[in-house]
Amino acid sequence: MKRKTPPDESKVQALRRHGALHPRPEAVQDEAFQSREFLDPRDGVQVKYEMLRRHRLEGQRISDVARSFGVSRQTLYLAAAAFDNEGLPGLLPHRRGPRRAHKCTDEVLDFVERLRRTTALDARAVSKAVERRFGVKIHPRSLDRALARRKKKPRKKEGRQ
């Protein structure tokens, strides 16, 4: 018989899976989070929303709200801007970092393929050659992954669109 996961544990797993698990729930000292069962300091989206509500609807000062929720004023300003621009979805966590291999342009990958065909350089040496030629540092493994993606997806032939 399959054992049921306790609701508390499954909520934490769901928050973690969606990237919404608050990294420091113990820092949330707001009294409503301490006294109400509905408000959960582990829910990062709920914490951000309540911070904004305290400031905008209840008129609490930014510095007091930030202190009570264990965040910097800058974090609160960023949450407010995200909420203003995107609504509630703006409070959801966003993926950090580049969205694609922005250094691995077609020109760089063409160069790497030519180098690999015509020389016996190892991956690290190829990466150094890219740095010398194009002025960008690309980890050898990043080059390998970009080339593998390139092989999977056929390139458009020039002149066709």
DSSP letters spanning the chain: -PPPPPHHHHHHHHHHHTT-B-S-GGG---HHHHH-SS--TTBHHHHHHHHHHHHHTT---HHHHHHHHT--HHHHHHHHHHHHHHSGGGGS----S-SS-TT--HHHHHHHHHHHHH----HHHHHHHHHHHHS----HHHHHHHHHHHHHSPPPPTT--
Q: Per-residue pLDDT for the chain (161 aa), expressed as one digit of tens each?
A: 444 445 678 889 999 988 889 989 999 999 889 887 789 999 999 999 999 999 999 999 999 999 999 999 999 999 999 999 999 999 988 777 777 778 899 999 999 999 999 999 999 999 999 999 999 999 999 999 999 998 887 666 555 54
Structure tokens at 137: 């540092």
Task: Write down the pLDDT at residue 131.
Answer: 96
d(CA 74, CA 7): 34
For the chain, the structural domain boundaries read 14-91, 106-150
Task: State the chain's maximal CA–CA distance in angstroms.
Answer: 69
Task: Write down the pLDDT at residue 3.
Answer: 45
